[in-house]
Amino acid sequence: MGGGGGGAENGEPEFQIAPMIDVLLVLLIFFMSITSAEVLRIDPDIKLPVAPDAKKKEKQIGSEGALNLKWKPGGNKAQFNFQGKDYENFEDIVPVIVSIKQGNDKYRVIIRGDKDLPAKEVQKAMGMLGQAGLENIAFSALNQ
Amino acid sequence: MKRHEDTENVNLGFQIAPMIDVVFVIMLFFMVMAGAVKVEHELKIALPGSATTKGEDVVLPDEITIAIAEDGAVSMNEEEFDTPADKKLPRLTGDLIKLRKDADARGSKVLVTLQTEEQTKYDRIIDVLNAMARAQIANITFTVGSEEP
């Protein structure tokens, strides 16, 4: 029997282990890459809302800041955290953003708010970003 | 001489079967994890700023106001759509898609003003923004509280 179908002398095709390992490793690498490509670096205290039809987040390393808005049930004030630093008074963030924006005109901020956050706290954040001269902002949500 | 042959017969080589077992287990793990992976998405919004025009004819956009009440009720141009518990907002989405297609046909754009009450949950705002993303409407402004004094 000619050809590359197995090569056993009695004509029975043999199970080839080498191509199977090749395929397995390719599949393994594929699943590893899609699983670890998006590791969420989000504050675990924030439960993000779900928006399956929103666009996937663009990667803009260096020209994007994250504004985390934490909300405790029964609380009366959101906790503002910008780039990993907590701010008691959210207006203190304005000069920080202004100084970043001076060096990077395309700088934008993504708001990561807790799903139980009241709209007035979102408005505070948007007002503050407006004060800092930002025009384009984005709200963060999960795909599922 | 016999002793030498015995050591040669001991198989210390690479074992393929356990390797395949391990690779299968790892692959199954990643396959299962791939289905449950949570990815961050974004909903863009423009804050009121200084828009510049370059001497072109400005086409006025079709303005729509969508209000979200504290209980989650959503109304467009004062007509209520869907139920407060409905997260997918199918009626609102359908109407927004129609409005956007109509505006596209006329060469215009849809401008949505999202008006919410102070205690409206952020989750509900995202539901409405998600409906707009499905309708491919990108021009959104956001206000909190009633416009009336």
Tens of pLDDT along A61-107? 668 888 888 888 777 788 888 888 888 888 888 888 888 888 887 88
Instruction: Kindly determine whether residue A31 and residue B40, on different chains, have CB atoms separated by under 8 Å.
Output: no
- pLDDT score at A86: 87
In tens digits, chain B (149 residues) has pLDDT values of 455 555 556 666 778 888 888 888 888 888 888 777 777 888 888 776 545 555 555 566 778 889 999 888 999 888 888 888 888 888 888 998 998 898 888 888 888 888 889 889 999 999 999 998 888 888 888 888 755 44
Residue A59 contacts B, CB cutoff 8 Å: no
- Please state the pTM of the whole predicted model: 0.74
**Please, where are the H alpha helices in B1-149?**
2-9, 16-36, 90-105, 122-134
The shares of helix, strand and coil residues in chain A, as percent rounded to the nearest 5, are: 35, 20, 45
CA of A143 vs chain B CAs: smallest distance (Å): 6
**Which of A15, A26, A31 is the mutation pick for testing B, counting most B CBs within 10 A?**
A31
- Distance of alpha carbon A35 from alpha carbon B86, whole angstroms: 31
Which residue among B26, B41, B117 sits closest to A51, beta carbon to beta carbon?
B41
Contact status of A46 with chain B (Cβ, < 8 Å): no
- Nearest Cα residue in chain B from A130: B47
Cα separation values, A83 from A16, A126, A135, Å: 53, 16, 19
Give, in order, the Cα–Cα distances in Å from B49 to each of A62, A131, A134, A136, B42.
23, 10, 8, 9, 21
CB contact under 8 A, B119 and A120: yes
Q: Closest approach of chain A CAs to the CA of B106, in angstroms?
A: 26
